[in-house]
Amino acid sequence: MAENTDLSLVQDIIRAAGGHAASLRELTEHHKGEDIARVLIDEICSRCPAPVNEEPVLVEFVVRTAGEPLSHWLRAVEGAPVRAVPRGEDFVAMRIEYELADLVRELFGPSREHPSGVRGTTLFPYAGSDAADKIGPYFLAAQQATATVLAGCTSAKPDLNELTSRYLTPKWGSLHWFTPHYDRHFRPYRNEEVRVLEIGIGGYKHPEWGGGSLRMWKHYFHRGLIHGLDIVDKSHADEQRITTVIGDQNDPDCLAEIAGKYGPFDIVIDDGSHINEHVRTSFHALFPHVRNGGLYVIEDLWTAYWPGFGGNEDPEQSGATSLGLLKSLIDSLQHEELPPAQGRTAGYADRHVTGLHVYHNLAFIEKGTNAEGGIPPWIPRDFDSLVAASSGGAA
């Protein structure tokens, strides 16, 4: 398994962002302002949409801590991601200024739909010798580049359909139509410090492909830590708040080791091999490491019908497939209502599956304590007796 990077600073920033102002003061007492600013600038660059300005533009980004300005220059130009660069020859179109505490809250605090009064801006005039020719393109490029950078400075909830397109994942608009379901079930977790594990990073054996969905979840869960598991090395996808590990989803010991190091998880998403045996092994190994109130998600249920993935064409013979697993979980949900059976004891899924939502090729399993107590034994178990009891025994 790949070793995790030191996330202590990032975690301290996230926790301070969701706390009292005193927590932010403590943050700056324990960490250098320039180290915090570096994390914030990296986060902004990762959230910025693709620039559309044809003229290269530098935006000076100033983070003020204890009254001291820390300047960074973000370069925006069409065809390249926004990135921090040394002060160069491109014109500086705008200065954006934040107090460090305000920027920490903007990026990592609970989402606010209408943030205001947290930043200062200064638009610079174009000073080149060709100003007469450049003034029009300059203002357009300055506006576009500044809007791009500011779009990365907010934790306002992005549209998941737009994110799946931005990060080139097939969860909406191509192979699948998953994102409305994901948004419905994941929305309550948006302001939490979630830990997400996704099985399957994508790109198969190509060393530089995959990782798009990890970046999508990083943007969507702006306070979360995202982990990706793949059977081949995908460490090219590692970045701030994203950690990849190498492991076999069909190896329970490997999964237990990963969960012990990075869990417990709030959300596990199985988008791995889609081989039915692997899906079942991963669920039984990892579901105990999902915290109560969390979710376990299984994608690509279509493979349950295809022998090439260990599926079965006959729905009546689905016991060993991913759909067979889900069908068994319906009984787990109702285990307290099952007639007593010789020697039957409740299993882990019986005791902890509290909800099941199945869509086309996608399922969400809710984790909790399934112990509401079944219908009392003194309630009649046949219809005629129930009617008689409810009518006081009258004919």
Phi and psi torsions of 19, nearest 5° = -105, -165
The tens digit of pLDDT for each residue in 115-150 reads 556 778 787 776 665 555 666 677 888 889 999 999
Question: Which amino acids are annotated catalytic?
Answer: 274
Tell me the two tokens of residue 112: 């606010």
Nearest alpha-carbon partner for 65 in 42, 43, 98, 96: 98
* Residue type at 86 in one-letter notation: P
Per mean pLDDT, which of 76-85, 170-179, 379-388 is the most reliable? 76-85
Distance of CA 336 to the CA centre of its chain: 34
Angstrom distance (rounded) from CA 335 to CA 222: 38
CA angle 234, 239, 243 (to 5 degrees): 55
Angstrom distance (rounded) from CA 251 to CA 199: 13
The tens digit of pLDDT for each residue in 195-221 reads 999 999 988 888 788 999 999 999 999
Q: Are 300 and 281 in contact (CB under 8 A)?
A: no
Query: Is 1 a residue whose pLDDT tops 50?
Result: no
Q: Beta 83-85 vs 92-99: how paired, if at all?
A: unpaired
Nearest alpha-carbon partner for 75 in 64, 60, 62: 60
Tell me the two tokens of residue 49: 């949409």
Tell me the two tokens of residue 136: 């029009």
Q: For residue 190, with 0-12 CB atoms within 10 Å meaning exposed, 13-18 middle and 19 or more buried, which class applies? A: middle
The tens digit of pLDDT for each residue in 248-289 reads 999 999 999 999 999 999 999 999 999 999 999 999 999 999
State the CB neighbour count (10 A cutoff) for residue 382: 8
Total count of residues recorded for the chain: 395
Tell me the two tokens of residue 282: 């991963």
Q: How far is CA 270 from CA 13, 224, 283, 375, 376, in A?
A: 29, 18, 8, 34, 37
Q: Are 18 and 90 in contact (CB under 8 A)?
A: no
The tens digit of pLDDT for each residue in 183-197 reads 999 999 999 999 999
Q: What is the DSSP string of 262-276?
A: H--EEEEEE-S---H
